């Protein structure tokens, strides 16, 4: 797999799956722009990639903030002139039974997991259409395919991200812009560490491979959709979850 000469963006790149994705992109030749709310860890991640011989720049980004997205885009376009690959990895969730939730508590999950990736696509897809090349990879969740106990709003947002991916793929195909989606199952990152231990134990029991995923295993699937090895794929949804979900 190869991203030589490709200008790439990874959101949520300061941690977990986004960090592994940024490293994977850089390792195969991509110029990587890392975006994240967490500036200290994002700067460190970009520095680590550069120390390993890669090309990486961190730019602060809040995918829930229109001005931050505009500034992020402006810096990339002024430095590199275009964007070829957008990996929407940033996400956030928390466990709460729906009956105990209030509409006010839904906004953050919807803003980050559904509207954020939409806004990032909206910012960058016109340039991709114009150059007749683009690869967008949205990171959803198996929760968006099969549901997840006490994560109704998160699952709803992630399910929306899957539907959005498929619809946008139909618009992008004629411009050689592919839009695909990966759905991690439980993966060993800080996000999973926040989940209650009894839920983690139950999840592990339900996974046919009897272990959680590693961020690098999800990054490999994102890299596949970002590079030419997936040249005839668009609108596809790939679960990387140790067999937890086996959806048609």
Point out which residues bind ligand NAD (CB under 6 A): 11-12, 14-18, 36-38, 61-64, 89-93, 112, 116, 139, 141, 184, 186-187, 189-192
Helical residues (DSSP H) of the chain, grouped into ranges: 16-27, 39-51, 66-80, 103-110, 116-131, 143-146, 152-172, 190-193, 197-206, 215-226
Q: Which helix (H) or strand (E) holds 180?
A: strand 177-184
Decide: helix, strand or coil at residue 163.
helix
Closer of 90 and 221 to ligand NAD (Cβ): 90
User: Which is nearer to ligand NAD, 17 or 227 (by Cβ)?
Assistant: 17
Report, in Å, the least distance between residue 169 CB and ligand NAD: 19
Sign of CA dihedral 59, 81, 162, 4: negative
Q: How far is the CB of 148 from ligand NAD (least distance, A)?
A: 9
Q: Supply the minimum distance, in Å, between the C-beta of residue 159 and ligand NAD.
A: 12
Helices 152-172 & 116-131 angle (0-180, nearest 10): 10
Nearer Cβ to ligand NAD, position 69 or 125?
A: 69
Catalytic residue among 33, 133, 154, 175, which?
A: 154
Report the distance separating Cα 181 and Cα 158, nearest Å. Answer: 10
Judge whether 154 counts as a catalytic residue.
Answer: yes
Between 15 and 180, CB nearer to ligand NAD: 15
Distances in whole angstroms, Cα of residue 88 to Cα of each of 65, 156, 159, 198: 15, 17, 15, 30
In the structure encoding, which two tokens stand for residue 146, read together?
């099969």
The residues assigned a catalytic role are 154
């Amino acid at each position: 797999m190869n991203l030589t000469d490709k200008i790439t963006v990874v959101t949520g790149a300061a941690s977990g799956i986004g960090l592994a994705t940024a490293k994977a992109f850089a390792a195969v030749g991509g110029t990587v722009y890392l975006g994240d709310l967490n500036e200290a860890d994002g700067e460190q991640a970009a520095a680590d990639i550069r120390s390993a011989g890669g090309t990486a720049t961190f730019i602060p980004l809040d995918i829930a903030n229109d001005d931050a997205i505009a500034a992020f885009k402006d810096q990339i376009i002024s430095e590199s002139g275009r964007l070829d690959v957008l990996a929407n990895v940033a996400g956030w969730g928390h466990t709460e039974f729906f009956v105990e939730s209030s509409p006010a508590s839904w906004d953050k999950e919807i803003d980050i997991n559904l509207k954020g990736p939409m806004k990032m696509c909206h910012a960058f897809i016109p340039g991709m259409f114009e150059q007749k090349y683009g690869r967008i990879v949205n990171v959803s969740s198996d929760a968006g395919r099969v549901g997840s106990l006490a994560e109704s709003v998160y699952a709803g947002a992630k399910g929306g991200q899957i539907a959005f991916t498929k619809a946008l793929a139909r618009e992008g195909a004629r411009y050689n812009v592919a839009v695909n989606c990966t759905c991690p199952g439980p993966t060993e990152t800080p996000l999973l560490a926040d989940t209650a231990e009894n839920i983690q134990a139950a999840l592990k029991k339900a996974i046919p491979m009897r272990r959680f995923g590693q961020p690098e295993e999800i990054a490999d699937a994102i890299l596949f959709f970002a590079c030419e090895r997936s040249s005839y794929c668009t609108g596809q949804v790939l679960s990387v979850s140790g067999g937890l979900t086996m959806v048609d």
